[in-house]
Structure 1
């Protein structure tokens, strides 16, 4: 029996598709109607029992302008969203932000699917601090490059919070409804963030291997000759087959510094070497490092060292 998996959607495949090929879900009601579910009790949020979703999966790409947090089991087939493959027979949390693409293989079998999905519109959070904070949660910005495995105890904890959310959606709407729903959503996402960081800490071998490969590529880049473009986090993330957000979160967890901070450190160290070991002018040094405009180099160098490149060269022993 094949397990369900998450696989990357080829960018070239998506580029070949026409706008009419995508099924866009703008509202929570659009979402429930698309999957043949009862209308939501709340206009901006719904909690779905995935066992209620029956019938044949439509293989058209789906773009929901909604947030989705889902725990799924029992899928058989392939769902495309992400860079890694996971087994849905165990508890697995996935996260989607508005505008991300999901594509199901036509052979996907959902007849034994269980679990839940919490779907909510960005407008629910817009006037609350959580509306800004949710953008800092890496598990949404990864575009599901990295899913979250949860233990039985963690799953029970999430179920408890979901029970509170479900209870609130079943109450008549009043002036307190939105405040209470957003507060409970904040608790749920706070637990997810804790569990996500726990996952970083329990996958040390794979993470340290990724860190080693990142450092090797960084070293190799600055060992190249002259006039290469400035390195970017996106460039290294692509080479390592992870998202920029995932790479930065992992490096921060392991080293205390983001990917961008690592790049800046390597860049400044290379600049110091050139300033002290060559007769290149400051402008020539900037061009050698890949800066298009030398004043950007001078500004970055001073911000990181407290000295301009010219002052550093003069002050060096």
Structure 2
């Protein structure tokens, strides 16, 4: 299947037969489009889809996600999404908020976009909404639509930007709620994470591949790095990176006290390429050098 490029919202709208009311922002209704073939498309803008009925399947990377009732999926510029209509299925009733990065230039929202980590979640990590939550997001999309239908004036862009930001903040809140309501599943993820962390050094992976990364563990648990990181943060109060750093420091202290290894050998065992990097890391994490730590332990 050929990949269609939609670098602009105008290109996207032309493909589906939507009217373009603003070149950098739009709200589209898929139940109003007759052109919804199976396709793959690379987007050049942010896209957030609020889906209310079944009728299609989304592919994102190697993951297939059944596009079910009351869900939100989001995509950042440069991501490729595949849409597959289900046979004899109903016309998907979905609303899409599209906004180009250029629309955010010189706004405070441009600086905040990195905090909306759900734009890099995989499709199977979609946000599942209650009816009340869907109504809230629908309301802000309606507000944006109203502004797009209003004659442009000096208030148009600030009002659209502010409504986009509030909508994204609600998505963050609802994702936080979703992490809480999936507590049993999340605990299982943390148990697997801890087991994989311990096994990373026990199996000698560190010597072969260096220091462990968030992506390594996310891949092992079959989650996107952003979703995995946010889940760990919601459950532990620490980012996945901070959690890994603390574990490295723990293993380092145990190795320094419970073995005859030199500092250089401990650094190699942990996955540090250079001993001086280990020394800096240890001093930052523990507050003293490895030598000072061992001397204090003996004293």
After TM superposition, the score normalised by the length of structure 2 is 0.92
Is the partner of 1:316 in helix, strand or coil?
Answer: helix
Match of 1:169 among 138, 144, 148: 148
Check the 8 A contact 2:45/2:98 in 1, yes or no.
Answer: yes
Report what 2:161 is aligned to: 182
Q: Compute the RMSD of aligned alpha carbons.
A: 1.9
Report what 2:58 is aligned to: 79
Task: Quickly say closer, same or farther: Cα 1:135–1:110, change in 2 above 3 A.
Answer: farther
Matches within 5 A, 1:7-46: 21-38=2-19, 40-46=20-26
Unaligned runs of 5+ in 2: none
Report what 1:241 is aligned to: 222
Q: What do residues 159-186 of structure 1 show as CA deviations (whole Å, max 9, x unaligned)?
A: 2222221111112222222111111111
Q: Please say if 1:293 is aligned against 2:274.
A: yes
Is the partner of 1:105 in helix, strand or coil?
Answer: strand
Q: What do residues 256-307 of structure 1 show as CA deviations (whole Å, max 9, x unaligned)?
A: 1111112111111111111112232222211121111111111111111110
Match of 1:272 among 238, 249, 253: 253
- CA–CA distance in structure 1, aligned partners of residues 87 and 111 of structure 2: 35
Match of 2:185 among 206, 211, 218: 206
Task: Quickly say closer, same or farther: Cα 1:296–1:224, change in 2 above 3 A.
Answer: same
Is the partner of 2:107 in helix, strand or coil?
Answer: coil
Unaligned runs of 5+ in 1: 1-16
- CA–CA distance in structure 1, aligned partners of residues 103 and 294 of structure 2: 55
Q: Please say if 1:306 is aligned against 2:292.
A: no
Q: Which aligned runs of 4 or more in structure 1 are off by greater than 6 angstroms?
A: none
Q: CA deviation at 1:147?
A: 0.3
Structure in which a larger fraction of residues adopt helix = 2
Q: CA deviation at 1:56?
A: 4.8
Q: CA deviation at 1:107?
A: 5.5
Report what 2:29 is aligned to: 49
- CA–CA distance in structure 1, aligned partners of residues 116 and 79 of structure 2: 15
Match of 2:235 among 254, 269, 280: 254
Question: Quick check: 234-243 or 130-139, which moved more?
Answer: 130-139
Q: CA deviation at 1:230?
A: 1.6
Report what 1:227 is aligned to: 207
Count of aligned pairs between the two proteins: 295
Report what 2:265 is aligned to: 284
Q: CA deviation at 1:35?
A: 0.9
Q: What do residues 213-258 of structure 1 show as CA deviations (whole Å, max 9, x unaligned)?
A: 1111111223234724221111111110001111111011011111
Task: Quickly say closer, same or farther: Cα 1:110–1:29, change in 2 above 3 A.
Answer: farther
Check the 8 A contact 2:30/2:92 in 1, yes or no.
Answer: yes
